[in-house]
Chain A
Amino acid sequence: MIKTEQLCKRYPAVTAVEDVTFEVQPGEVLGFLGPNGAGKTTTMRMLAGFVTPTSGRASICDHDVEDEPLAARQSLGYLPEGAPCYGEMRVSTFLEFIADLRRLEGARRRARLEYVIERLQLASVLERPIETLSKGFRRRVGLAQAIMHDPPVLILDEPTDGLDPNQKHEVRTLIEEMASAKIIVISTHILEEVAAVCTRAIIIARGRIVADDTPLQLASRSRYHNAVSLQLARAEQLETARAALAGLAQVERVELTEREARLTALPRAGAMILQDVAALAAQQGLQLKELHLESGRLDEVFRTITA
């Protein structure tokens, strides 16, 4: 379990993190969201014991990060922001070094080394110095380091930054695989990632938690939650359609994207308008290319909350 209580970090000029309190249980994948400079990295660094909090407490698996730093770190796999490494080391020697510091021995050591090399596809670069690797490989070396000792808690600061779509997918699959048995905290500013892998999202802005919910619930805060979007086959019907949609009692407003001949009808609070819109389209003889119900737009919620 991860627990923080009123965690604060103040620097002489700025307050980086203010009064951050949350708990994470095994099985949860927590996504840390927020604009750059909002305090995500500082919070994660405090959890990892790298930055000392100005006030408040944090614990990992019931080990306070200040009072029992070694026990806390043993339960933790941590990928720092930017995945810093010893550039002159070869990948294999680096992984051996980590395995040594993690006190892995014998068969388990061999198995873990094999597992991370296989899982993060590092076999082809084992004998290369880390500084000569591409950004994606370096990130994977950092991830390999973090999961080496199969820790119960993983804190990953932007694990997919710099990876191509295939590698991103690989990392997400890895996170999903590990999710059931572990606590995983990731930070990201890629919103689709939150929807894809996280069971819970905390949004931080200016050092404070401004939202703490499941990605689905967060999306439902969007103006676009349960909105109906339709694309017309014939652009000349656009104006008729707009007028007709605006006439529906349950429709709050209609948005228009002329280039795509697309209309989006936003419902009044709580209303379900899909049936009405579909009926209207048939009645007005609109030729539809597409009709769908939106679950909400995370990016719009993100902008509204953090602005």
Chain B
Amino acid sequence: MRNVALILRRELASYFATPLAYVFIIIFLVLANAFTFYVGAFYQRGQADLRPFFMFHPWLYLFLIPALTMKLWAEERKSGSIELLMTLPVKAWEAVLGKYLAAWLFTALALALTFPIWITVNYLGSPDNGVIFASYLGSLLLAGGFLAIGSCMSALTRNQVVAFILGVVACFVLLLAGYPMVLDSFRGWAPETLTEAIASLSLLTHFQSITRGVLELRDVLYFVMLIGFFLFTTTVAVDLRKAD
């Protein structure tokens, strides 16, 4: 675990050594608030809750998270530093987990910086802070899921642009797995049980059920398993393809 912490610290520091961290945080905050007030009609609704804030998170993450994860492994392979990292006494899973947690911690920081909107809504009315807390948790889990998918896509290629596009597409498919857009492409030929299984994988469905304020074990477990699966896949990909 010590190696995980060391790699996490190095990664996190590297975000702030470049403009990446600041650009990401600023764009995230600007977009999150713009969507809330202009598209989500925060004031006009006249309700003291943060629904218009959280409902856009999946769409923000869809593009911002792959932009964050595209470099995780692709850059290491491109610059060759993966050869350094993978010949130090570090296990592949430790490196995968360390990098992933750094990215997640960073996203959590960006999310935490949206606190003024929470203060605003509490100033304007008396919202159900339990729901807001659950929503923050749901948003963090959703980001975690996207990060794991993005990390996996980044491990498959040495080209960051390819990693970004693969990440967006994979996140999009999983996000909308429960919606006709994805399901229709399976309905024609796949058995009903498979279609239903795919529908139950929908990130959006699970996210929305958490943001309604119902923190069910089922939904949390879904995210944990999703993250676990993609991190495992990342480890396998890094191990098998590190030298390619």
Contacts and interface: CB of A to CB of B under 8 A. Distances in A.
A73 interface: yes
B3 to A, nearest CB: 7
B122 interface: no
Contacts of A88: 14, 17-18
Contacts of B80: 80-82, 84
B88 interface: yes
B83 interface: yes
Nearest to B13: A93
A102 B84 CA distance: 13
B14 A50 contact: no
A73 B88 contact: yes
A80 B6 contact: no
Nearest to A75: B89
B10 A80 contact: no
Contact of A80 (B3, B14, B84, B91): B84
B84 A85 contact: yes
B185 interface: no
Interface in B80-108: 80-84, 86-91
B84 A145 contact: yes
A70 interface: yes
Given A84-B79, A88-B14, A89-B14, A97 B6 contact: yes
Contact of A101 (B17, B18, B89, B243): B89
Interface residues of B, number: 21
A128 to B, nearest CB: 12
Contact of A78 (B13, B82, B87, B243): B87
B242 interface: yes
Interface string B9-50: 010011001100000000000000000000000000000000
Interface in A64-123: 70, 73-74, 76, 78, 80-82, 84-89, 93, 97-98, 100-102
Q: Identify which of B6, B88, B242 gathers the most chain A CB atoms within 10 Å of its CB.
A: B88
A296 interface: no
A45 B83 CA distance: 9
A45 B243 contact: yes
B89 A74 contact: yes
Given A86-B81, A88-B14, A89-B10, A80 B87 contact: yes
A93 B16 CA distance: 14
Interface residues of A, number: 28
A84 B84 contact: yes
A52 B88 CA distance: 16
Interface centre among B18, B83, B91, B242, by most A CB within 10 Å? B83
Contacts of B18: 88
A84 B81 CA distance: 5
A49 interface: yes
B89 A80 contact: no
Nearest to B16: A88
A51 B243 CA distance: 6
A50 B86 contact: yes
Contacts of A87: 79
A73 B243 CA distance: 17
Contacts of A97: 6, 10
Interface in A206-257: none
A153 B139 CA distance: 49
B14 A98 contact: no
A86 B95 CA distance: 14
Given A80-B80, A129-B17, A49 B87 contact: yes
A48 interface: yes
Contacts of A102: 88-89
A50 B88 contact: no
Contact of B6 (A51, A73, A86, A100): A100
A169 B81 CA distance: 27
A129 B242 CA distance: 25
B17 A80 contact: no
A74 B88 CA distance: 8
Nearest to B94: A101
A78 B14 CA distance: 23
28 contacts: A45-B83, A50-B86, A52-B243, A70-B89, A70-B91, A73-B87, A74-B89, A78-B87, A80-B80, A81-B80, A82-B80, A84-B79, A84-B80, A84-B82, A85-B81, A86-B81, A87-B79, A88-B14, A88-B17, A88-B18, A89-B13, A89-B14, A93-B13, A98-B88, A100-B6, A101-B6, A101-B88, A145-B84
Given A50-B83, A86-B14, A89-B17, 12 more contacts: A49-B86, A50-B86, A50-B243, A51-B243, A52-B243, A78-B87, A80-B83, A81-B80, A86-B81, A89-B10, A89-B14, A102-B89
